[in-house]
Chain A
Amino acid sequence: MTFLTFVSIIAGVMFGIGALAAVYRIIRGPSILDRALATDVLLAIAICALGAEMAINTHTDTLVVMLILAMFAVVGSISIARFMAKQDAS
């Protein structure tokens, strides 16, 4: 087993724990702001995992996907935060 295979297993477990925690917060989150924030974290973890996969397998096929995700990650959370009504608690 090479060094990078070992690294990819450990990193996969860590990314998985982070993503599962974010999904838990999306399901449980007391307010919609918590859910928007957890969605942002899930997206950031997805971008990081895409990049880690590219670095381990030495290719650049999904670099454009990372670019598009980084460009459009902002839309959801800002629209939720901007148009959130005062009495909307969920």
Chain B
Amino acid sequence: MSASEIVVGVLILVSAFLSMAAGIGIVRFPDVLTRLHAATKPQVLGLAAVLVAILVQVPTWGVLTTIVLVMTFQLLTQPMTAHMLGRSAYRTDHVRRDLLIEDDLGRDIEEHDQEDARR
């Protein structure tokens, strides 16, 4: 059992634990926005841990460049997905408004509507 094996094992366990936490989170949380919060864990941190584990096992330049590409694509596309899903959930009333502490977007929409009405 070498040092690199321990590092790889710990990184894989971190990724697996985050995947399990995301699964439990999307089952137990009450609405789309809170599930969105749970869902983003394996998509970024879990993937980063697994990619570093691959790089520790196979340390070549080809693997490094491909890993950087995978992580870049994931970091570019996942915030877009989360933004679109959250926006769509708000606009179609899939939000539990009684759980919100402060509704900034609702206040902004209201102000905008009042400005339109005055014009």
Contact = CB atoms under 8 A, between A and B. Distances in A.
A47 B44 CA distance: 11
Interface of A: 2-4, 6-8, 10-12, 14-15, 17-22, 24-25, 30-31, 33-34, 36-38, 40-41, 44-45, 47-49, 51-52, 54-56, 58-60, 63-64, 66-67, 70-71, 73-74, 77-78, 80-82, 84, 86, 88
A67 B20 contact: no
Q: What interface size band does chain B fall in? A: 35 or more
Contacts of A41: 22-23, 26, 39, 42-43
Contacts of A88: 92
Contact of B20 (A14, A24, A25, A33): A14
Most buried by A among B11, B16, B88: B16
Interface string B19-36: 111111011000010011
8 contacts: A12-B16, A18-B20, A22-B26, A40-B81, A44-B19, A44-B22, A63-B70, A78-B80
A17 B84 CA distance: 27
Interface of B: 1, 5-6, 8-9, 11-13, 15-24, 26-27, 32, 35-36, 39, 42-43, 46-47, 50-51, 53-54, 56-58, 62-63, 66-67, 69-70, 73-74, 77-78, 80-81, 84-85, 87-89, 91-92, 94
Most buried by A among B63, B77, B91: B77
Nearest to A63: B66
Most buried by B among A3, A41, A80, A84: A41
Interface of A is mostly: helix
B88 A21 contact: no
Nearest to A69: B70
Most buried by A among B36, B78, B88: B88
